[in-house]
Structure 1
Amino acid sequence: MWWLLVATTVAIGVRASNSNGAEDPLVVHTNKGRVQGITLQAATGKLVDAWLGIPYAQKPIGNLRFRHPRPIDKWTHILNATRPPNTCVQIIDTVFGDFPGATMWNPNTQISEDCLYLNVVVPKPRPTKAAVMLWIFGGGFYSGSATLEVYDHKTLVSEENIILVSMQYRVASLGFLYFDSPEAPGNAGLYDQLMALQWIHDNIHYFGGNPHNVTLFGESAGAVSVSLHLLSPLSRNLFSQAIMQSGSAVAPWAIISRQESTIRGLRLAEAVNCPHSKSDIPAVIECLRKVNASDLVANEWGTLGICEFPFVPIVDGTFVDDIPQRSLSSRNFKKTNILMGSNTEEGYYFIIYYLTELFRKEENVYVNREEFLQAVRELNPYVNNVARQAIVFEYTDWQNPDDPIKNRDALDKMVGDYQFTCNVNEFAHTYAESGNNVYMYLFTHRSVNNPWPSWTGVMHGDEINYIFGEPLDPAKNYQPQEIELSKRMMNFWANFAKTGNPNLQSDNTWTTTYWPLHTAFGREYITLDVNASATGGRGPRVKQCAFWKKYLPQLISSTGIHFLYLFMLTKILKIDMWNSIFIYLVTYKGNRVGTKLGIKLTRCC
């Protein structure tokens, strides 16, 4: 565990100096009280100071379950911040047993509702006004932890001389249950992040950080969170710039309607034998507060589509004050520099879990034509037949439609484009159109020690190891060129945090590899690979993204507009099952129909 690599001799030296009466440099005075830190050693041998498990909010237990976080009270003693915090309650992935490619994402600290803590890792010697990076972990808003080995903070901090902060935030129903009530207002997990961000603003200078130079960065649901902070009027002024890896707020799985969230909450209540009538929400909440937290998260999953997560953010009118697409189109967002991108095989990780019989975790997987067509149906259940045939047409290699390898890879691209890549592209393009500096990447390197079968390529999340410097650990057996790639990526990310430009070092020198600005016209991006080459032109995946973002919505709208009258009728009659009638309109930008009626029509994917 990364927090256990302690420099013992340094720790002994600190204790000795304390016995001589000198003030312990690892005791920091925050605005809530004193915290005792610890000195740790990175795999490279370099030292950092760390404060692990600093509370930033009251324990969200008892009557505070489901509610927005409350400020923590002051303490008078020296708080021990030398052990990593609890992981917020979530389900454990057991699908593939002890396979390391899956278990690496499972919690590695005690699971508890008492989990609202953060970590601060600082380089030695202690800097002054150092750039601060706040990591927001991913996990579909139903899982994840800031303490995972893959997020080991020490190497990035010690190599790039930045301060790294990470926080635990509530996930699943405990973080996102919504019942249109102060007792269950929704988006509690996002408000956890906001409170941690406020803590950084108020306290990071005590640790040598610059509160006016804070960069948010996150992956997947963490990237969605970062983009929501860019859109939110509540958090825009608490950070400087943002990095989003494989996710943005316009992803189809990022937001669900308040109506859908309420329905899912009532289904959860029924599953755990609580009252589940919409007419008596107080009784529902009162009962759900008494249910064992592990039982809650274990009963959230019903019949959901691929990348469809049970409890996710909603448009609550305060933190998320509008539909993300509308916020982007109206330029209602923080004007700043952003860096974002995706990986070449974003879809496989989710397909392996969703189509488990077809995509077995084996080295050789082939998909014949019949299996391909059936998979398209299963992966796109909410569209009509015309739209489904269009998807088949777009992702078929018509020179050889029966090629089992191309059919397999096409399914990855179909899921990856729709769920991840195209939404990253859309967010970046809108920011560039507005005159902001945008830097875009495509991560294309597959690690030699990747535990997944070779056909999975460069999967969702594979870039994280390189951002946090894992290849620099001799025990991990990375190749020399992979070590150099990791150094280059850490430097790009840290440069961006320090200067707002990945090419510009803090000493005003420039990197040897140039990362071009992503413009609305050129759509330039850099390829992050061991070859260190920069790729220009339009992209990535610009043609396929035009299919998802332009052609298919128009096709669905033109083939489904005759349902408008029935939709309005179900709205007037308040029929709860309108969702099932118009589900294929809900999935895409046929959403414009609902938007004009003042309804958020989004199906979480």
Structure 2
Amino acid sequence: MAPDRLRRDILKTGGVLAGGLLLSGAPGTGQGPARADAPTPPPPPFVDLPAGRLRGAVEGGVAVFKGVPYAAPPVGALRWRPAQPHPGWDGTRDATAFGPSAPQLYLEEGDQILGHHGSPPFSEDCLTLNVWTPGADDSKRPVLLWIHGGGFISGSGALPHYSGETFARNGDLVAVTVNYRLGPLGYLYFGEDDAGGNFWLTDQRAALQWVRDNIAAFGGDPDNITVAGHSGGALSAAALAGQSKGRPLFRRAILQSPPLGLRIPTRAESLQRTATYLDIVGAGNVAELRTVPWPRLIGAIPEMFGRTARWGYWPTPFLPVIDGVTLDAHPAELLLSGSGEGIDVLIGWTREEANFAFGLDEGYAAATRDQVVARVRDTFGRQADEAYTAYAEVRPGARPVDVLMDLIGDDLFRMPSLALAERRASRGRPVWAYQFGLPTPAHNGRLAAAHCLELPFVFNNFDKWAPAPFLAGLHPRVRDGLAATMHQSWISFIRTGDPNHHPMPNWQRYDRKTRTTMNLDAVTTAAGDLVGYWRQLRRPAAG
């Protein structure tokens, strides 16, 4: 019997595969028949790698290996240095517990939207990844490498939100999540020509290479990798597309709410940001900064927010840098030429992205029309009044802050994502586009279809998101129906490069004739050109 069919039959009868072994429904242990109320726990799966042996666990019907190091700990002299190879280990390494998350700000009480986006323990020794697989065998399954977002300052591949269990089980995939350096430890730039900057990107590049070198031992196909991410993680996926000068390092990319509208600083601009940070911490140079304990480095982030924030713009105190060493162009450009041009792309956004950052902010709620028009002028120049009126008409009864949020969402996410789709389509390169539009009733509807809201639908694991306040009030039947559709579309794209599946509407590739965009909402429909008016209005923008 073919391995895939065998696996499906086993799963149907309550069995699971891990490490190539039948773990449930197998003969007993010789101690008498297993009691129905006390099933024999499955034996742990093992994997042998060049770095050493791993012992994992079986959870939710799939094998999982947690806290696997993919690079050397970036501590001491390796702080603010590119990721280095891990030396490996002797004996069998326990891989049943997640590794520490990257150091980041943490509030015990959480926030009003996600609750928490990264939880202790935190440590600079954080360069680990996690693997979920239906079986550590030779099935050569498609691979998903998920990169979390978090504004470049928060998040973790160890979050229950991002568990790869559903993708591994429902899609017969190998799913990988990764931790990488965040905030000042990942994004400061010191102008060192040999090291460059973007230490976060060197981490992700090392993780991707680890997957290519090792994933076959977990039942994955190193030649069939999809790199997916959300927000900053989506920008990362695009940046990784340019890390090869020849054959692409992965086959497909899923970009969920990529902030392609970010202006990536030059080396000089990044050095100025680093100088601001050094002043806050009270250090004179990188050598002094290497002696500062990481809690103090993280503690400087709030003041960094204060010194770098601009009214009417999404706050980003730490940013990538075009350093000419690790990154030589804006990530969006890397999917238009060279190795990135041949990668299949699925790209999308939520309808009210910026409500995430501004919808519950009482200071912005008091914004005046004049204030917002002044911000609109940055985008539309002399057409600012016309643009303000057009945005206001889209939302009957719109307040100035509503216009501002729609503008920010368009500037940062929707319009640049569509611009990338347009440019890829003009080159005949595969690209599919979507807009997530299901609003949440939470906070009296003030968030609408905000940034991050599509994530639990993609992973189809609402039980893991239970503490997140922004999901309160969603109708279970509508929620679960849309989640089933989205989750299967993502699986289909990872497996075949095409997000279509029965019974959803036909999802055509984005092209410059139809400009098909899938509306993912209570009723999923394929729409035509969603932003024709805005495209025309923005074209002649001038100061």
Correspondence for 1:297: 298
Q: Distance in 2 between matches of 1:402 and 1:458?
A: 14
Correspondence for 1:589: none
Correspondence for 2:45: 26
Specify which of 393, 411, 418 is matched with residue 418 of structure 1.
411
Correspondence for 1:451: 442
* 2:81 is aligned with 1:67: yes
Structure 1 residue 36 displacement after superposition: 0.9
Does the 8 Å CA contact 1:100/1:451 hold for their aligned counterparts?
no
Report the residue type matching 1:245 in the other structure: Q
Q: Distance in 2 between matches of 1:219 and 1:167?
A: 13
Report the residue type matching 2:66 in the other structure: L
Structure 1 residue 474 displacement after superposition: 11
* 2:262 is aligned with 1:252: yes
Correspondence for 2:213: 202
Cα 1:286–1:395 shift into 2, 3 Å: same
Count, aligned residues: 500
Cα 1:330–1:496 shift into 2, 3 Å: closer
What's the secondary structure of 2:73's corresponding residue? coil
Cα 1:182–1:35 shift into 2, 3 Å: farther
Does the 8 Å CA contact 2:83/2:206 hold for their aligned counterparts?
yes
Report the residue type matching 1:138 in the other structure: G
327-336 or 175-184, which deviates more: 327-336
TM-score of the two chains, using structure 2 as the length reference:
0.84
What's the secondary structure of 1:178's corresponding residue? coil
Report the residue type matching 1:494 in the other structure: I
Correspondence for 1:337: 344
Q: Deviations over 1:303-341 (max 9, x none)?
A: 312224122211122332234566567667331211011
Q: Distance in 2 between matches of 1:401 and 1:515?
A: 26
Q: Distance in 2 between matches of 1:151 and 1:292?
A: 29
Structure 1 residue 224 displacement after superposition: 0.6
Specify which of 447, 462, 465 is matched with residue 456 of structure 2.
465
Cα 1:330–1:185 shift into 2, 3 Å: closer
More helix by share: 1
Structure 1 residue 445 displacement after superposition: 1.0
* 2:279 is aligned with 1:266: no
What's the secondary structure of 1:357's corresponding residue? helix
Report the residue type matching 2:278 in the other structure: A
Cα 1:178–1:124 shift into 2, 3 Å: same
Correspondence for 2:368: 371
Does the 8 Å CA contact 1:177/1:184 hold for their aligned counterparts?
no
Q: Distance in 1 between matches of 2:29 and 2:384?
A: 68
Report the residue type matching 1:551 in the other structure: P
TM-score of the two chains, using structure 1 as the length reference:
0.76
Correspondence for 2:520: 528
Q: Distance in 2 between matches of 1:399 and 1:244?
A: 29
Q: Distance in 2 between matches of 1:256 and 1:436?
A: 28
Correspondence for 1:116: 127
Does the 8 Å CA contact 1:85/1:109 hold for their aligned counterparts?
no
Cα 1:351–1:342 shift into 2, 3 Å: same
What's the secondary structure of 1:358's corresponding residue? helix
Report the residue type matching 1:357 in the other structure: G
Correspondence for 1:147: 158
Specify which of 426, 436, 445 is matched with residue 433 of structure 1.
426
* 2:128 is aligned with 1:135: no
Does the 8 Å CA contact 2:241/2:334 hold for their aligned counterparts?
no
Q: Deviations over 1:520-565 (max 9, x none)?
A: 3321111112213222x213x34324444x322xx13xxxxxxxxx
Does the 8 Å CA contact 2:345/2:431 hold for their aligned counterparts?
yes
* 2:102 is aligned with 1:91: no
Does the 8 Å CA contact 2:196/2:326 hold for their aligned counterparts?
no
What's the secondary structure of 1:120's corresponding residue? strand
Q: Structure 2, unaligned stretches of length 5 or more?
A: 1-15, 17-21, 32-41
* 2:95 is aligned with 1:76: no
Q: Deviations over 1:145-175 (max 9, x none)?
A: 1122322322232122211101101011211
Correspondence for 1:586: none
Report the residue type matching 1:338 in the other structure: V
RMSD: 3.2
Correspondence for 1:601: none
Q: Distance in 2 between matches of 1:225 and 1:532?
A: 28
Q: Distance in 2 between matches of 1:235 and 1:87?
A: 33
Q: Distance in 2 between matches of 1:89 and 1:545?
A: 41
Does the 8 Å CA contact 1:48/1:157 hold for their aligned counterparts?
yes
* 2:48 is aligned with 1:37: no
Q: Distance in 1 between matches of 2:134 and 2:95?
A: 17
Structure 1 residue 435 displacement after superposition: 1.0
Q: Distance in 2 between matches of 1:12 and 1:128?
A: 20
Correspondence for 1:516: 508
User: 1:96-111 alignment to 2 at 5 Å?
Assistant: 97-105=109-117, 107-111=118-122
User: 1:171-186 alignment to 2 at 5 Å?
Assistant: 171-181=182-192, 185-186=196-197
Correspondence for 1:559: none
Structure 1 residue 120 displacement after superposition: 0.2
Report the residue type matching 1:543 in the other structure: Y
Correspondence for 1:307: 314
What's the secondary structure of 1:165's corresponding residue? strand
Correspondence for 2:485: 488
Does the 8 Å CA contact 1:132/1:213 hold for their aligned counterparts?
yes
Specify which of 492, 495, 499 is matched with residue 496 of structure 2.
499
* 2:61 is aligned with 1:54: no
Does the 8 Å CA contact 1:418/1:545 hold for their aligned counterparts?
no
What's the secondary structure of 1:131's corresponding residue? strand
Report the residue type matching 2:436 in the other structure: F
Cα 1:51–1:416 shift into 2, 3 Å: same
What's the secondary structure of 2:534's corresponding residue? helix
Cα 1:133–1:478 shift into 2, 3 Å: farther
Q: Structure 1, unaligned stretches of length 5 or more?
A: 1-6, 42-46, 276-283, 360-366, 505-509, 557-605
Does the 8 Å CA contact 1:440/1:524 hold for their aligned counterparts?
yes
What's the secondary structure of 2:222's corresponding residue? strand
Does the 8 Å CA contact 1:241/1:500 hold for their aligned counterparts?
yes
Cα 1:181–1:419 shift into 2, 3 Å: same
Q: Distance in 2 between matches of 1:207 and 1:223?
A: 25
Specify which of 351, 357, 377 is matched with residue 350 of structure 1.
357
Q: Deviations over 1:102-145 (max 9, x none)?
A: 4232x123111110000001126967111100101111212211
Cα 1:288–1:154 shift into 2, 3 Å: same
Structure 1 residue 500 displacement after superposition: 0.7
Report the residue type matching 2:317 in the other structure: P
Q: Deviations over 1:10-49 (max 9, x none)?
A: 99999x9799xxx9661101121111111112xxxxx111
Q: Distance in 1 between matches of 2:194 and 2:270?
A: 15
Q: Distance in 2 between matches of 1:308 and 1:18?
A: 62
Q: Distance in 1 between matches of 2:463 and 2:288?
A: 50
What's the secondary structure of 2:186's corresponding residue? helix
Q: Distance in 1 between matches of 2:479 and 2:53?
A: 41
Does the 8 Å CA contact 1:396/1:407 hold for their aligned counterparts?
no
Cα 1:389–1:134 shift into 2, 3 Å: same
Does the 8 Å CA contact 1:417/1:544 hold for their aligned counterparts?
no
What's the secondary structure of 1:456's corresponding residue? coil
Q: Distance in 1 between matches of 2:43 and 2:453?
A: 39
Report the residue type matching 1:463 in the other structure: E
Q: Distance in 2 between matches of 1:400 and 1:512?
A: 32
What's the secondary structure of 2:145's corresponding residue? strand
Report the residue type matching 2:207 in the other structure: A
Cα 1:285–1:214 shift into 2, 3 Å: same
Q: Deviations over 1:437-471 (max 9, x none)?
A: 11110111124xx5343032100111001011124
298-307 or 121-130, which deviates more: 121-130
Q: Distance in 1 between matches of 2:222 and 2:62?
A: 20
